[in-house]
Amino acid sequence: MRPSLLDPLFAETTCLPGVGPSVARLLEKLAGPRVADLCWHLPSGVIDRSYRPKIADAEPGRLATLAVEVEGHRPSGNRRQPYRIRCRDETGSIDLVFFHPKGDYLAKTFPVGARRLVSGKVESFGLALQMVHPDRVAEGTDGSGVAEREPVYPLLAGLAPRVVTKAVAAALRRLPELPEWQDRHLLARRGWRSWRESLQAAHAPHGEGDLSPEAPARLRLAYDELLASQLALALVRRQQRRVPGRALPGDDSLRRRLEAALPFALTGAQRRALAEIGGDMAAERRMVRLLQGDVGSGKTVVALFAMLAAVESGAQAALMAPTEILARQHHATLTGLLAPLGIEAALLTGREKGRTRSQILEGLADGRIGLVVGTHALFQDDVVFRDLGLTVIDEQHRFGVDQRLALAAKGRRPDLLAMTATPIPRTLLLVQYADMEVSRLDEKPAGRKPIETRVASTERLAEVVAAVGRALEAGGKVFWVCPLVEEKEESELAAAEARYRLLAKHFPGRVGLVHGRMRGEEKDRMTAAFADGPLDLLVATTVIEVGIDVPAANVMVIEQAERFGLAQLHQLRGRVGRGDRASTCLLLYQSPLSAVARERLQVIRDCDDGFRLAEEDLRLRGSGDTLGKKQSGMPAFRLAVLPEQAELLAVARDHVDLILTRNPELTGPEGEALRILLYLFERDAAVRPLGAG
Ligand code: ADP
Ligand code: MG
């Protein structure tokens, strides 16, 4: 149960003064539904209203706060003329200017003779001074009515800055005093203040420096969040170790036959990974391992060996892919590899229905089916395994930590092997997969031809089409990728269709189109027609659709390449160069190109190392974008920014080690404070196995 101390933070924003349901809906879009979300919504700027001259000294063009006395009103004579209010102090006078004033607002706000504090930009108007629509008006002139500095918050269309500022200020007034969970020495060394003071300071910047990720208040808050995340992952990891798994040693019989039947020798990296996986599976504890390898590094074969180890031990193994197409592709691959062994793998996706489906369900339930490949459909409630020993998840980056935990809860805690082609920089590995062991396939199968990458402007489309024509003449196959951006699905789809029509005109009868709106069967038919049918050029709208293996494909054209992440581009590029032909990847960009975009395209052109690309991407774009936020499965940080604050990660990691050595069950006042921290950042799933404490 969440400590009641935190209740004010977890209340809905509608409990704040001035926040009704419609504002709350907008705030939810902007930051989140609860008071805490507003607290995490840190300012992106600061307005300095500390310049407080006498009227005669006020410099035109500057933001000034003036103490004035209202002298008289000059309402506008017609619609085009503004309403003017003459104000003065002992040194001179200035006009406040209002366009289209409403009702008697001005008369009420500025009665003649009243003293007011007004803040806004001073302008010269002929020889006179004026201030158009002051940003702030306060009664009296003692100066306290207008803050010297105001935070500026990131906004959303439809939300007035004032509304956000007021809501955040109201949220901050509800901050409870929380027990200190940080190490006192660390606080002293870094000069950090308490959580509450730091949060207040982060929302009250004095200048640009206070907005930087290096500002002490922001560092402290980021560190809190990183500590919560590292602690949660460490607890989950420990929990996974504690729960006894089962030993799946196998007798090597099937694996030996598979290796003998393979048309190639395993790479050293594949052997190393298999030894690590085999060791985990043979041991009594549960395996939770990530297999990380660049596209084409041969993860599928490794997965199959692991699956056979489960079957040899009398258990079942399931391979889950993120999409229908990938599941079918994997099924076809495994079927091919298993043929010499006389073993079959079943296929279960959302499309297996009726009798087929019920037969598969029966086979899984009674154990006749040992190996199954599928999509999420594999983990629906009515799918029962007789004895699932190993789950393999492909393209792990699509599944977040939460989903991993959910999967772990299913069945009798089968061993878990997750695979990802996304090269994850070490920093992120720590963030994202601290609950897993990692094996890396850092070696490509021999004999791969390098892919030549070229960068060109879309303006040269005609030349590109001609080059594609030559590749087709020479018997090649071509992927043509058009980006699909969610918000504009309609228009992007239209663009892809237009591209398809153009190419079909040039190469009649040889061009196909796949996009996300198509039904599964349609996509499959189209893909199959490209893989080994009459089509030689496949226009695709999304990354997912080309997650398929077509060894004959040797040209990849990517339009608006500047809109993809480097890692994504690298993955796409990895779809060609699988056969024995020389391959080309053409990155087309839309001019004009920003400096960063240009640098990114140069990096991908010159580098074929997925890991280095990931590091570069992180450097160039920051963690949010590296993997594409939605695809990354990254625990979303509200306060920490990577890589700017990555230094803190290692510190947090060591800190967690220390905590768990010294106080493994999180007891006493320190444990209590740390639990509150976990709840604060909603990492409390990790606390549950600890009990009430
Ligand atoms: P990925 O890691 O991208 O999933 P795959 O498992 O699809 O890679 O393997 C890519 C291709 O390389 C497949 O056609 C596979 O049969 C082949 N392959 C895998 N391992 C080796 C190897 N050791 N030597 C040669 N080819 C291999
Ligand atoms: Mg793969």
Q: Give the separation between CA 466 and CA 167, rounded to whole angstroms.
A: 58
pLDDT of 428 > 90? The answer is: no
| Superfamily of structural domain 50-146 | Nucleic acid-binding proteins (2.40.50.140)
How far is ligand 2, taken at its centre, from the CA of residue 645, in Å? 33
Q: Is 195 exposed, middle or buried (0-12, 13-18, 19+ CB in 10 A)?
A: buried
Instruction: Supply the pLDDT for residue 487.
Output: 53
- The mean pLDDT value of the chain amounts to 87
List, in sequence order, every residue forming a beta bridge with 320; answer none if it has no partner. Answer: 374, 393
**Ligand 1, atom 26: nearest CA belongs to which residue?**
445
> What are the backbone angles phi and psi of residue 678, rounded to the nearest 5°?
-60, -40
Instruction: Supply the pLDDT for residue 669.
Output: 94
Number of helical (H) and strand (E) elements in the chain, helices listed first = 25, 21
Task: Tell me if 141 sits within 8 A of 40, measured CB to CB.
Answer: no
Q: Give the separation between CA 411 and CA 527, rounded to whole angstroms.
A: 34
Give the pLDDT mean for 258-268.
95
Instruction: Supply the pLDDT for residue 409.
Output: 55
Q: Give the separation between CA 435 and CA 533, rounded to whole angstroms.
A: 44
Of 19, 20, 50, 42, nearest to 136 (Cα)?
50
Look-up of token digits 């200017």: 97
Query: Does residue 421 line the site of ligand 1, with CB under 6 A?
Result: yes
Query: Does residue 623 line the site of ligand 1, with CB under 6 A?
Result: no
451-607 to CATH, choices 3.40.50.300, 1.10.10.10, 3.30.420.40, 3.30.750.24: 3.40.50.300
Query: Does residue 577 line the site of ligand 1, with CB under 6 A?
Result: no
Give the pLDDT mean for 654-673.
93
* 3-class SS of residue 381: coil
Instruction: Supply the pLDDT for residue 609.
Output: 82
pLDDT of 514 > 50? The answer is: yes
Instruction: Supply the pLDDT for residue 484.
Output: 65
How far is ligand 2, taken at its centre, from the CA of residue 303, in Å? 10
Instruction: Supply the pLDDT for residue 408.
Output: 57
How far is ligand 2, taken at its centre, from the CA of residue 264, in Å? 17
Fold agreement between 50-146 and 451-607: no
Instruction: Supply the pLDDT for residue 591.
Output: 87
290-312: pLDDT as tens digits: 999 887 889 999 999 999 999 99
Structure tokens at 427: 């920093």
| Superfamily of structural domain 267-273+286-441 | P-loop containing nucleotide triphosphate hydrolases (3.40.50.300)
- Closest approach atom of ligand 1 to CA 333: 16
Long-range contacts of 531-534 (CB under 8 A, 24+ apart): 534/509, 534/510
Query: Does residue 295 line the site of ligand 1, with CB under 6 A?
Result: yes
Instruction: Supply the pLDDT for residue 198.
Output: 97
Instruction: Supply the pLDDT for residue 420.
Output: 85
Query: Does residue 297 line the site of ligand 1, with CB under 6 A?
Result: yes
Look-up of token digits 């300071």: 201
Of 587, 569, 564, 580, nearest to 450 (Cα)?
580
Test site for ligand 1: of 294, 295, 297, most ligand atoms within 8 A of the Cβ = 297
Of 235, 182, 229, 179, nearest to 6 (Cα)?
179
How far is ligand 2, taken at its centre, from the CA of residue 662, in Å? 42
Sheet holding 451-457, edge to edge: 451-457, 583-589, 553-558, 477-481, 537-540, 511-514
The bridge status of strand 83-88 relative to strand 93-98 is antiparallel
- The lowest-confidence range among 56-60, 149-153, 608-612 is 608-612
How far is ligand 1, taken at its centre, from the CA of residue 301, in Å? 7
What are the residue ranges spanned by the domains of the chain?
4-47+153-211, 50-146, 267-273+286-441, 451-607
Confidence of residue 633 (pLDDT cuts 50, 70, 90): very low
Alpha carbon of residue 250 to chain centroid: 39
461-492: pLDDT as tens digits: 999 999 999 999 999 999 999 876 555 666 66
How far is ligand 2, taken at its centre, from the CA of residue 298, in Å? 7
Structure tokens at 459: 């303006």
Query: Does residue 363 line the site of ligand 1, with CB under 6 A?
Result: no
Give the pLDDT mean for 533-558.
81
